[in-house]
């Protein structure tokens, strides 16, 4: 049975947020926010929230699930001649709503325009929430951390399993399939993103899509994968070499590893995400590979695989205990290959606790 995650505290905090922003009500559209506040884990639905009520607006595929999971919520289902705009119009008039917060980062322009027209609430009274509902989820509870830890534990087990399967001739697609099958057979509900298995020259593309290319001797193999456990995502990356690593592979690997370990040792609350990013970037730049590390150092993780705050050159948010971050420096050299090493950590009072246990010394298979 799925555990009820929507909790009274989250609902109270969301209502407090409405008050602080001077809003009569809000329309949540991001599934993770709907799940966090109400407990309802369905998708393609809305959560309407005012001082008077919480209501899940959904379609008949999800009605029973919404009634079961969203216990403090009314459930309203769209039907013949009555779409989301009409349901919303009714709620807005019942509650006398004049200002409505909406998740502009989770809705299409056309959807908003249609909701505005059908609900009769003029566009000027719709106020962007600017990520405020998502920000409620940034600091994780002990219960959430436990779920993230379990998700990452399944990932660790998958990595030690896949090491036995990697050999010349096995294709990238087969590696991805094996990782996914293992995670789903060991308690995961699914993957938290499309598994990456990139070998040889493909490893120079940070987010390469697995192909039917077979592993060959001398290949770097980068595997970036994660799963969901009770809604919470895991994320990890390891790079190994098929056969003996050559000198350049060894050098690049050591630089990435040193960058990652430096960041893990120094990352702490009170830093901004940009300061966290710099911990690893400084090591890579110092080694002369700065131009080959194009992405940010990491991102937060929770009900979604990519959450804020990130560890990136542009992130001004100050890190706080209970936040989750990935620490994933990489070096990617076109026509040669690439290395990424990624762990997932939780910020503690004075540093981080690593949720990832897989080994990081260079593995040659
Ligand atoms: Mn990641």
C-alpha of residue 198 to centroid of ligand 1, in Å:
15
Say which residues have a Cβ less than 8 Å from residue 109's Cβ, sequence separation at least 6: none
* Sequential DSSP letters for 200-229: GGGGGSTTPPP-SPBP-TT-EEEEEE-EEE
**Spans of all domains in the chain:** 8-135, 142-354
What six digits make up the tokens of 17?
């947020």
pLDDT of residue 80: 87
C-alpha of residue 249 to centroid of ligand 1, in Å:
22
| φ, ψ of residue 206 in degrees (nearest 5) | -55, -40
pLDDT tens sequence for the chain (365 residues) = 344 445 679 999 999 999 999 999 999 999 999 999 999 999 999 999 999 899 999 999 999 999 999 978 999 999 988 999 999 999 999 999 999 999 999 999 999 999 999 999 999 999 999 999 999 999 999 999 999 999 999 999 999 999 999 999 999 999 999 999 999 999 999 999 999 999 999 999 999 999 999 999 999 999 999 999 999 999 999 999 999 999 999 999 999 999 999 999 999 999 999 999 999 999 999 999 999 999 999 999 999 999 999 999 999 999 999 999 999 999 999 999 999 999 999 999 999 999 999 999 999 99
C-alpha of residue 127 to centroid of ligand 1, in Å:
31
Q: Does residue 190 contact residue 231 with C-beta atoms inside 8 Å?
A: no
C-alpha of residue 41 to centroid of ligand 1, in Å:
23
C-alpha of residue 129 to centroid of ligand 1, in Å:
26
- Whole-model pTM: value is 0.95
CATH T-level topology, domain 8-135: Creatine Amidinohydrolase; Chain A, domain 1 (3.40.350)
C-alpha of residue 192 to centroid of ligand 1, in Å:
10
- Tell me the CATH class for 142-354: alpha beta
Say which residues have a Cβ less than 8 Å from residue 94's Cβ, sequence separation at least 6: none
Closest CA to 246 of 301, 291, 200: 200
In three-state secondary structure terms, 89 is helix
pLDDT of residue 72: 87
pLDDT of residue 8: 74
C-alpha of residue 328 to centroid of ligand 1, in Å:
7
Q: Does residue 273 contact residue 312 with C-beta atoms inside 8 Å?
A: yes
Q: Does residue 347 contact residue 321 with C-beta atoms inside 8 Å?
A: yes
Which residue intervals of the chain are DSSP H helices? Answer: 8-20, 31-38, 63-69, 84-95, 109-119, 132-135, 142-163, 172-185, 247-266, 273-286
C-alpha of residue 273 to centroid of ligand 1, in Å:
15
| Ramachandran quadrant class, 39 (left: phi over 0; alpha: psi -120 to 50; beta: rest) | left
Distance CA 279, CA 297 (A): 9
C-alpha of residue 310 to centroid of ligand 1, in Å:
10
C-alpha of residue 342 to centroid of ligand 1, in Å:
7
Burial string for 66-88 (b: 16+ CB within 10 Å, else e) reads: bbebbeebebbbbeeeebbbebb
C-alpha of residue 91 to centroid of ligand 1, in Å:
39
- Helix then strand then coil, in percent of the chain rounded to 5, is 35, 25, 40
pLDDT of residue 196: 98
C-alpha of residue 111 to centroid of ligand 1, in Å:
30
C-alpha of residue 343 to centroid of ligand 1, in Å:
8
Name the burial class of residue 207, with classes exposed (0-12), middle (13-18) and buried (19+) by CB atoms within 10 angstroms of its CB: exposed
C-alpha of residue 329 to centroid of ligand 1, in Å:
10
pLDDT of residue 4: 45
C-alpha of residue 336 to centroid of ligand 1, in Å:
22
C-alpha of residue 297 to centroid of ligand 1, in Å:
9
The β-bridge relationship of strands 126-128 and 100-102 is: parallel
C-alpha of residue 83 to centroid of ligand 1, in Å:
37
Q: Does residue 27 contact residue 46 with C-beta atoms inside 8 Å?
A: yes
C-alpha of residue 148 to centroid of ligand 1, in Å:
14
């Amino acid at each position: 049975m799925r555990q009820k995650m929507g909790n009274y505290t989250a609902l109270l905090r969301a209502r407090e947020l409405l008050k602080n922003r001077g809003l009569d009500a809000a329309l949540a559209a991001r599934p993770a926010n709907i799940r966090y506040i109400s407990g309802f884990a369905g998708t393609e639905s809305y959560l309407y929230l005012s001082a008077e009520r919480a209501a899940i607006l959904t379609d008949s595929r999800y009605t029973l699930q919404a009634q079961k999971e969203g216990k403090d919520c009314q459930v309203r289902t769209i039907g013949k001649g009555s779409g989301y705009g009409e349901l919303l119009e009714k709620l807005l008039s019942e509650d006398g709503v004049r200002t409505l917060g909406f998740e502009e980062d989770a809705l299409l322009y056309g959807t908003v325009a249609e909701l505005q027209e059908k609900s009769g609430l003029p566009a000027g009274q719709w106020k962007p929430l600017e990520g405020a509902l998502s920000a409620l989820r940034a600091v994780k509870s002990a219960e959430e951390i436990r779920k993230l830890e379990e998700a990452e534990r399944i990932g660790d087990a998958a990595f030690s399993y896949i090491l036995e399967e990697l050999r010349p001739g096995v294709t990238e697609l087969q590696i991805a399939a094996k990782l996914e099958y293992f995670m789903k057979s060991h308690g995961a509900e699914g993957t938290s993103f499309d598994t990456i298995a990139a070998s040889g020259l493909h490893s120079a593309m940070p987010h390469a899509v697995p192909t039917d290319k077979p592993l060959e001797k001398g290949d770097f193999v980068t595997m970036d994968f994660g799963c969901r456990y009770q809604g919470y995502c895991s994320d990890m990356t390891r790079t190994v070499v098929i056969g003996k690593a050559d000198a350049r592979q060894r050098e690049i690997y050591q630089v990435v590893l040193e960058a990652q370990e430096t960041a893990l040792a120094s990352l702490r609350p009170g830093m901004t995400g940009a300061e966290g990013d710099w911990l690893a970037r400084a090591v890579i730049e110092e080694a002369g590979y700065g131009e080959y590390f194009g992405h940010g150092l990491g991102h937060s993780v929770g009900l979604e695989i990519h959450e804020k705050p990130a560890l990136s050159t542009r992130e001004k948010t100050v890190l706080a205990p209970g936040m989750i971050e990935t620490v994933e420096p990489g070096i990617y050299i076109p026509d040669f290959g690439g290395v990424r090493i990624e762990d997932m950590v939780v910020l503690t009072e004075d540093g981080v606790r690593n949720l990832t246990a897989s080994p990081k010394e260079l593995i040659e298979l």
